[in-house]
């Protein structure tokens, strides 16, 4: 029923849905138009594979990505090109993402040319508008600059301008500020949020930084070993995390010793598992202090819904019925004695 509901949403609104890939295993979600979401996880959790899949750079072995009602799998040639114009990409390393021998004008002209904007004056107009939008001014000066002449924050503004210039519906930002100086991180995140609001864009952040997601996403997906283990509205997720992994991430953040460590590497119990040969059952069970023998190490937990909009893949949340017939969680049963 849940799956049908998802499909209904897809048809109704034109959403984006991701199916199974090797590193991204049976991940399924929809993004609503105009919302900002964050995918959070440690390195090696499948974030980059997810981004590549969403961008249509690699094809899922199973499952599919649907965008505005159309499956990416069927897209070739001109249709694939059109899809790429609808999805902007903001890379993690702005300097690496920009061609070193082109000035800003030519960097921004490139996608316009590739996508058939033949009129030179029209290109110039759109390039200038994009630079104004990312507040890289004075535009006249910036146009002739090469990437190495710009600061990291300015380079990232060029990358954002390039991601926006074809007027995408969705922008995917892969750790967009992790390589920038702390002093410009907030500016860049606020810029993205402002542009998102103004344009009604869908924004998908990929990050390991759970500490700052509150400021820029409305909904969070927590990834572990290629799976979404928990998803919820941001306040709900941060204030009442349900999955033992999410709780461990948040506990690591509030640990004073880890106060400056925004990277999510302090979760006890060792490293995330290999994605090639993941553990049976719940993939978190080897590190989970609440693991139940005979269940967690054998059966993959499905998604449970402890409350509306909040989904968690953990056996602790399997609904049980108490004597009154009300569903409750294993957590609840334990406290009830
Ligand atoms: Fe821990 Fe079991 Fe929940 Fe996995 S399903 S997170 S092992 S309690
Ligand atoms: Mg990465």
The stretches of the chain forming alpha helices (DSSP H) are 2-13, 47-54, 77-86, 94-97, 104-114, 120-133, 139-143, 152-164, 182-199, 234-239, 244-254, 330-336
Q: What are phi and psi of 35, to 5 degrees?
A: -100, 155
Query: Percent helix, strand, coil in the chain (nearest 5)?
Result: 40, 15, 45
Longest Cα–Cα distance in the chain: 74
- Contacts with 272 (C-beta within 8 Å, 6 or more apart), sequence order: 42, 44, 45, 224, 225
Those residues whose beta carbon sits under 5 angstroms from the ion ligand 2 are: 48
Distance 149 CA to ligand 1 centre (A): 50
Q: Which atom of ligand 1 is nearest to the CA of 243?
A: 6
Query: Ligand 1 within 6 A of 222 CB?
Result: no
Q: For the segment 169-180, what is each residue's pLDDT rounded down to a tens digit?
A: 899 999 999 899
- Regarding the beta carbon of 284 and ligand 1, being less than 6 Å apart is answered yes
Q: What is the CATH number of domain 2-321?
A: 3.40.50.300
Distance (Å) from CA 47 to ligand 2 centroid = 6
What is the whole-number distance in angstroms between the Cα of residue 299 and the centre of ligand 1?
A: 10
Question: What is the rounded CA–CA span in Å between residue 187 and residue 173?
Answer: 15
Crossing angle for the helix pair 152-164 and 182-199, nearest 10 degrees?
Answer: 20
Residue nearest to atom 1 of ligand 1 (CA): 291
Nearest one of 94, 86, 93 to 111, comparing CA atoms:
86
Q: Beta strand pairing status for 310-312 and 219-224?
A: unpaired
Task: Say which ligand is closest to the CA of 173.
Answer: 2
Which is the closest atom of ligand 1 to the Cα of 317? 3
For residue 7, what are its two tokens?
Answer: 């499909």
pTM of the model: 0.82
- For residue 134, give the 3-state DSSP assignment: coil
CB 32 near ligand 1, within 6 Å: no
CA of 270 from ligand 1 middle (Å) equals: 16
DSSP one-letter string for 30-93: B--TT-EEEEE--TTSSHHHHHHHHTTSS--SSS--EETTEEGGG--HHHHHHHHHHEEEE-S-
Q: pLDDT per residue over 27-81, tens digit each? A: 667 788 888 999 998 877 777 777 777 777 766 555 667 777 777 777 788 888 8
Q: How far is the CA of 35 from the centre of ligand 1 (A)?
A: 30
Ligand nearest to the backbone CA of 298: 1
Q: Does residue 314 have its Cβ closer than 6 Å to ligand 1? A: yes
CA angle 217–223–224, rounded 5-degree value = 155
Q: Is the CB of 316 under 6 A from ligand 1?
A: yes
Q: In the prediction, which pLDDT does 63 show?
A: 63
Q: Does any ligand 1 atom lie closer than 6 A to the CB of residue 301?
A: yes
Cα-Cα-Cα-Cα dihedral sign, residues 290, 274, 50, 91 = positive
Q: Which residue ranges in the chain fall short of pLDDT 50?
A: 1-22, 259-266, 325, 327, 332-337
What is the C-alpha separation between 126 and 165, in angstroms, rounded? Answer: 7
Residues 6+ apart with CB under 8 A from 47: 39, 41, 174, 206, 208, 223
Q: Roughly how many angstroms between the first and final C-alpha of the chain, as a whole number?
A: 33
User: Within 10 Å of residue 248's Cβ, how many Cβ atoms?
Assistant: 20
Predicted confidence at residue 337, as pLDDT, reads 31
Q: In whole angstroms, what is the distance from residue 3 CA to residue 154 CA?
A: 43
Q: What's the half-sphere exposure (Cβ side, CA atoms, 13 Å) at 286?
A: 11
Measured in whole angstroms, the distance separating CA 101 from the mean position of its chain's CA atoms is 31
């Amino acid at each position: 029923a849940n799956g049908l509901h998802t499909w209904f949403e897809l048809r109704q609104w034109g959403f984006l849905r991701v199916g199974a890939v090797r590193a991204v295993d049976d991940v399924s979600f929809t993004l609503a138009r105009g919302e900002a979401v964050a995918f959070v996880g440690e390195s090696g959790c499948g974030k980059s594979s997810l981004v590549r899949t969403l961008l249509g750079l690699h094809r899922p072995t199973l499952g599919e990505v649907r965008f505005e009602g159309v499956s990416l799998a069927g897209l070739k040639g001109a249709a694939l090109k059109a899809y790429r114009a609808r999805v902007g990409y903001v890379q993690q390393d702005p300097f690496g993402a920009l061609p070193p021998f082109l000035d800003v004008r030519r960097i921004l002209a490139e996608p316009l040319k590739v996508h058939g904007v033949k009129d030179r004056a029209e290109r110039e107009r759109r390039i200038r508008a994009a630079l104004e939008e990312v507040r890289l001014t004075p535009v006249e000066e910036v146009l002739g600059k090469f990437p190495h002449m710009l600061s990291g924050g300015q380079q990232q503004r060029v990358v954002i301008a390039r991601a926006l210039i074809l007027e995408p519906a969705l922008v995917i930002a892969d750790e967009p500020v992790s390589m920038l100086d702390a002093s410009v991180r907030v500016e860049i995140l606020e810029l993205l949020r402002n542009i998102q609001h103004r344009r009604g864009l869908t924004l998908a952040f990929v990050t390991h930084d759970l500490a700052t997601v509150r400021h820029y996403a409305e909904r969070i997906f927590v990834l572990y070993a290629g799976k979404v283990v928990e998803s919820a509205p941001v306040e709900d997720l941060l204030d009442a995390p349900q999955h033992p992994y999410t709780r461990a991430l948040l506990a690591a953040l509030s640990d004073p010793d880890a106060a400056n460590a925004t990277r999510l590497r302090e979760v006890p119990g060792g490293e995330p598992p290999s994605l090639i040969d993941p553990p049976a059952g719940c993939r978190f069970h080897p590190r989970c202090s609440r693991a139940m023998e005979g269940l967690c190490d054998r059966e993959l937990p499905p998604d449970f819904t402890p409350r509306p909009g909040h989904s968690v893949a953990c056996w602790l949340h399997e609904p049980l019925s108490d004597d009154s017939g009300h569903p409750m969680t294993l957590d609840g049963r334990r406290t009830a004695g």
